[in-house]
Structure 1
Amino acid sequence: MCRWMAYTGSPVIANDLLFRPEHSIIVQSLRANLGHVTNGDGFGIGWYGTGADETPALYKSAHPAWNDENLREIASNIRTPLLFAHVRASTGTPIERSNCHPFRHGRWLWMHNGSLANFEVVKRDLRMAVDPALYPEIIGSTDTETLFYLALTFGLTEDPPTAVARAVGLVEDVGRRHGVEYPVHMTVATTDGETMWVFRYSSEKATSSLYYSNDAEQVRRLYPDLEVLDQLGPDTRFVVSEPLRDLPGAWTEVPEASWALVRGGENHIHPFQPSSP
């Protein structure tokens, strides 16, 4: 399984998000505490500038994140209010840049930890369900990119929770027609650059871990001597596969089978239920 982190808040230098935490996403690429997997099959970051209508930028590589000197070079020169970062452990598709997360469509980013079970069996049926106008944009071979374009087909840019519910419902329908008992395992993050939506769901109800950071002021009161917290604005939120620092009271687990809207330092959690499209 992969590992990912998402940040939204006041603009910060990407280096502070990617490298500075004691259990940063770069550290997790080599040794994840909760996943017990080396995530060395490529990585990617996606970020937004401070312009109102700016398309997100991507930097992705098939190399391990811990061994990419260019990542540290550019991270020191990126200032962003919203960043996605992902380190990959392949579930069978090739280790190449086109298969690294995040994936982009216009202003939208998408990343995923998990898998669509027996993807090689259900792949044809799922991809044939993608809107023909969107299909030419698929450039990789992963289940994640397919799920993204299914969500776009079902209206991600207008209503993300409903679109993801329909996409997951389709995957479960197709999978079970092919004899797959548990077709979906996912933690997903997607954003339009202003709002984040995150999802935690699996068909077997045993989804990989996912956490969000608590209110920055609350965390500062718990740890007044931790200077790094002084840099976090009141609208700061992290959503992560596993905590970036061992700070009891700073993190809350996203419940199983739920989705959350994250914006302006707030997060609102709702139950998630797939629906057959």
Structure 2
Amino acid sequence: MCRWAAYLGEAVFLEDIITAPCHSLIAQSHCAQEAKSPTNGDGFGLAWYGDRSEPGLYRDILPAWSDPNLKSLCRQIKSGLFLAHVRASTGGATSRMNCHPFVSGRWSFMHNGQIGGFEKIRRTLENSLSDEVFDQREGTTDSELFFLLMIDQGLAGDPLGAVSRATGRVIEASRRAGIEPALKLTAAFSDGQALHAVRYATDGHAPTLYTGAFARRAGRCIVSEPFDRDGGDWQAIPPSSFVTMTKAGTDIRPFAPAAAKLAMVVG
């Protein structure tokens, strides 16, 4: 499983979260403590917001700990809202297009988890997308496809509803394929204004998720696991929760998948 961190608040250097702390995201790329595997070396990525509506994006297939460009960028870039991800592949080739975060217009998205039995339901899910959204598909991962499902289900106007309906699509597709739904979904996404996250799993054992204040700064983080266990005020997010973070505060609500109907695939 992957590790990720997201931040919203006063502009800070990306290194303050990604490279500098004792258990930074780069440290977690080779010694994660709350993941099935301690190593997340199948690429990395950053999406950060600045003066433009769409985020900047930098992704590569190198392990995060071995890319000097990443450390240099994190020392120079300041942002009040950014997402960062280190990948441990559960499917899909190690390629730049398969590295998180994924971006569409002003939206960015990253994921820790997987869609169980993905190859058996991939065609059904892809065919359920509108042509306009399907044309955005660049990689081969279940994570990118889930992001596109969210877009197709009205992400721009209803983030919580879009995630709920996309989750319902995955569950319904699994049942139609005759397999037990097995979705693990701990994801973060943003439109450059608010930061959202969801923690859910069909078996009740969702990957970890925390929120916490960023020491010395007017900002908050959402992370897979804390990067500073001694100095941070970390709150574990319960399974089946949806988080919305703005500069005004953090809202945590219950999350459940919506019922879905998928068109039958012919051919």
Q: Normalising by the residue count of structure 2, what TM-score does the alignment of the two structures yield?
A: 0.94
What CA distance in whole angstroms lies between the structure 1 residues aligned with 2:174 and 2:81?
Answer: 34
The one-letter code sitting in structure 2 at the alignment partner of 1:46 is: A
1:39 aligns with 2:22: no
Secondary structure at the aligned position of 1:76 is classed as: helix
The one-letter code sitting in structure 2 at the alignment partner of 1:169 is: G
Q: Which residue of 2 aligns with 1:146?
A: 145
What CA distance in whole angstroms lies between the structure 2 residues aligned with 1:256 and 1:184?
Answer: 13
C-alpha deviation, 1:36, in angstroms: 4.2
Residue correspondence of structure 1 range 186-201 to structure 2 within 5 A: 186-201=185-200
Q: Residue 212 of structure 2 contacts residue 232 of structure 2 at CA under 8 Å; is this kept in 1? A: no
Q: Residue 237 of structure 1 contacts residue 265 of structure 1 at CA under 8 Å; is this kept in 2? A: no
Q: Residue 176 of structure 1 contacts residue 183 of structure 1 at CA under 8 Å; is this kept in 2? A: no
What CA distance in whole angstroms lies between the structure 1 residues aligned with 2:82 and 2:134?
Answer: 26
Residue correspondence of structure 1 range 74-85 to structure 2 within 5 A: 74-85=73-84
Pick from 222, 226, 232: which aligns with 1:239?
222
Q: Which residue of 1 aligns with 2:259?
A: 276
C-alpha deviation, 1:29, in angstroms: 0.4
Q: Which residue of 2 aligns with 1:8?
A: 8
What CA distance in whole angstroms lies between the structure 2 residues aligned with 1:193 and 1:16?
Answer: 19
- 1:71-108 CA-to-partner distances (Å, cap 9, x unmatched) read 11111111100110000000121000000000000000
- 1:254-274 CA-to-partner distances (Å, cap 9, x unmatched) read 111010110115111110010
Q: Residue 17 of structure 2 contacts residue 227 of structure 2 at CA under 8 Å; is this kept in 1? A: no
Q: Which residue of 2 aligns with 1:222?
A: none
Q: Which residue of 2 aligns with 1:58?
A: 57
What CA distance in whole angstroms lies between the structure 1 residues aligned with 2:44 and 2:53?
Answer: 23
Percent of pairs with identical residues:
40
* Cα distance change on mapping 1:122 and 1:203 into 2, 3 Å: same
Secondary structure at the aligned position of 1:149 is classed as: helix
- Unpaired runs of 5+ residues, structure 2, are 261-267
How much is the aligned-residue C-alpha RMSD, in angstroms?
1.2
Q: Which residue of 2 aligns with 1:123?
A: 122
- Unpaired runs of 5+ residues, structure 1, are 217-228
Q: Normalising by the residue count of structure 1, what TM-score does the alignment of the two structures yield?
A: 0.91
What CA distance in whole angstroms lies between the structure 1 residues aligned with 2:28 and 2:99?
Answer: 16
Residue correspondence of structure 1 range 108-187 to structure 2 within 5 A: 108-187=107-186
Q: Which residue of 2 aligns with 1:18?
A: 18
4+ runs of 1 displaced by more than 3 Å?
none
